[in-house]
């Protein structure tokens, strides 16, 4: 019979790889919480409408990549393609804006986009997402990028670049949209059908097009950053100034518009040249106005998301997966000894030490081989003779020494030896 396979573009994360995920999440939580972010967990499915209203009807994500379906009540549901819209929805629904002061949230979890799978691009992928509500000023823009940079440094990523841009406010965008549309019209009708349509509906999205001839045609397009008003310009200059004071390296990339409609003013991406065409490790920006558009108060907001698969692919280029090694392995021969070893291993675990045992009653030689392969530092050896003498052998696999330990309070002695007592 043919075995069932996972859905295309959706990956299992197997135990020999999961160490990367645990480490990245641990560092992320540590850094985010230090900057005042609190974890939030929202559902994977949301009403389809939420994403159409926030990310934008004419974006690739909403037009082409959504996992959308009608449930048994015929309600339109989508698997979230990103986390920002969901966090905003929760923020409004639970009136989190009523709490005084700034609100900072983070979310770690799977997202879904029906893209063509390739290295670094999957249909289920994971993001570390951070969102801040209630701050207009440029200080938070710089802080969030500084935090992102610190996280990447702590987790051990090298060779990445922070690109920043300003998309101006909605007014600037309105003016620029006309300028861009005029340019696109003057560039002729050689654009792909998508871009021809977008020229009328949402010209900025032409910049997301991957078709080569479209890219060539927009090469000479005017840059948005040259059309932003004085206030937006001052905001952007202040962000840059703070980044410089913080020593966070960046480059201004006037071509970067990001693929989601909700952005205003500061946008940014972390780019690498080591992952082929999937070069964005993370990205984000301001989205003042979105909370109001989705039915909440008029609060400013900014955030970013990191793609965990891409981040881990980069980390894997530099080093081995972080290994998890049980410090103690118990090998026993004979029924009485096996029973004793079984009880000892459970006691070690109750007292906070990771310990392993051979459950199958194999030969001592086979058990020792397994102990060696497990990478355990200490091996407990128990046979009939040891039981009769009320002892066990404790072997230190690194020092290559072995000593006799009384069975009485053996767990305590082993814990002392291993320098562990995490009970």
Residue number with CB closer to ligand HAM (46 or 340): 46
Neighbouring residues of 59: CB distance < 8 A, sequence distance ≥ 6? 202, 205, 208, 259, 260, 261
Enumerate binding residues for ligand HAM (CB under 6 A).
Answer: 82-84, 113, 115, 121-122, 125, 127, 129, 131, 259-260, 280-285, 287, 303-305, 307, 309-310
Residue number with CB closer to ligand HAM (224 or 380): 224
Residue from 310, 268, 277, 271 nearest 210 by CA: 277
- What distance in Å separates the CA atoms of residue 393 and residue 380, rounded to the nearest whole number? 6
We find the least distance from the C-beta atom of residue 310 to ligand HAM, in angstroms, to be 5
We find the least distance from the C-beta atom of residue 5 to ligand HAM, in angstroms, to be 19
We find the least distance from the C-beta atom of residue 156 to ligand HAM, in angstroms, to be 17
We find the least distance from the C-beta atom of residue 100 to ligand HAM, in angstroms, to be 23
Q: Which residues pair with 302 in a beta bridge?
A: 132, 286
Please give the residue whose beta carbon sits closest to ligand HAM in the complex. 307
Residue number with CB closer to ligand HAM (242 or 304): 304
Residue number with CB closer to ligand HAM (144 or 397): 144
- Angle, helices 193-201 vs 170-186, to 10°: value is 140
We find the least distance from the C-beta atom of residue 266 to ligand HAM, in angstroms, to be 10
Residue number with CB closer to ligand HAM (122 or 151): 122
Residue number with CB closer to ligand HAM (268 or 378): 268
We find the least distance from the C-beta atom of residue 124 to ligand HAM, in angstroms, to be 8
Residue number with CB closer to ligand HAM (127 or 367): 127
We find the least distance from the C-beta atom of residue 4 to ligand HAM, in angstroms, to be 23
- What distance in Å separates the CA atoms of residue 379 and residue 136, rounded to the nearest whole number? 59
We find the least distance from the C-beta atom of residue 105 to ligand HAM, in angstroms, to be 10
Residue number with CB closer to ligand HAM (127 or 165): 127
């Amino acid at each position: 019979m043919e075995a069932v396979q996972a859905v295309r573009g959706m990956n299992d994360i197997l135990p020999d790889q999961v160490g990367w995920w645990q480490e990245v999440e641990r560092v992320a939580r540590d850094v985010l919480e230090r900057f005042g972010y609190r974890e939030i967990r929202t559902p994977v499915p949301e009403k389809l409408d939420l994403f159409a209203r926030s990310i934008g009807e004419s974006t690739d994500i909403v037009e082409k990549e959504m996992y959308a379906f009608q449930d048994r009540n015929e309600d339109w549901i989508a698997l979230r393609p990103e986390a920002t819209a969901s966090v905003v929805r929760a923020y409004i629904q639970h009136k989190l804006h009523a709490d005084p002061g700034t609100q900072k949230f983070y979310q770690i979890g799977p997202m879904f986009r029906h893209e063509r799978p390739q290295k670094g691009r999957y249909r289920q992928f994971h993001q570390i997402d951070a969102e801040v509500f209630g701050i207009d000023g440029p200080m938070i823009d710089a802080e969030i990028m500084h935090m992102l940079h610190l996280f990447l440094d702590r987790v051990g990523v090298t060779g990445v670049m922070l690109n920043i841009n300003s998309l101006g406010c909605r007014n600037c965008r309105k003016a620029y949209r006309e300028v861009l549309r005029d340019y696109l019209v003057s560039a002729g009708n050689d654009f792909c059908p998508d871009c021809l349509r977008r020229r009328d509906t949402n010209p900025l999205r032409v910049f997301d097009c991957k078709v080569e001839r479209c890219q060539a045609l927009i090469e000479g397009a005017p840059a948005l950053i040259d059309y932003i008003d004085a206030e937006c310009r001052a905001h952007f200059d202040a962000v840059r100034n703070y980044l410089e004071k913080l020593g966070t390296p960046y480059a201004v990339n006037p071509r970067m518009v990001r693929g989601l409609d909700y952005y205003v003013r500061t946008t940014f991406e972390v780019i690498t040249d080591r992952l082929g065409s999937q070069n964005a490790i993370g990205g984000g920006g301001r989205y003042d106005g979105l909370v109001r558009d989705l039915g909440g108060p008029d609060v400013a907001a900014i955030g970013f998301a990191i793609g965990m698969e891409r981040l881990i692919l980069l980390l894997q280029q530099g080093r081995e997966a972080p290994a998890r090694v049980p410090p103690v392995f118990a090998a026993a021969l004979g029924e009485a000894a096996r029973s004793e070893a079984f009880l000892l291993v459970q006691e070690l675990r109750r007292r906070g030490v990771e310990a392993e045992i051979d459950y199958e009653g194999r030969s001592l030689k086979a058990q020792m081989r397994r102990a060696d392969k497990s990478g355990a530092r200490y091996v407990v050896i128990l046979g009939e003779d040891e039981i009769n003498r009320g002892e066990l052998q404790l072997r230190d696999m690194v020092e290559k020494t072995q000593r006799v330990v009384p069975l009485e309070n053996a767990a305590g002695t082993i814990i002392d030896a291993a320098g562990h007592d995490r009970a």
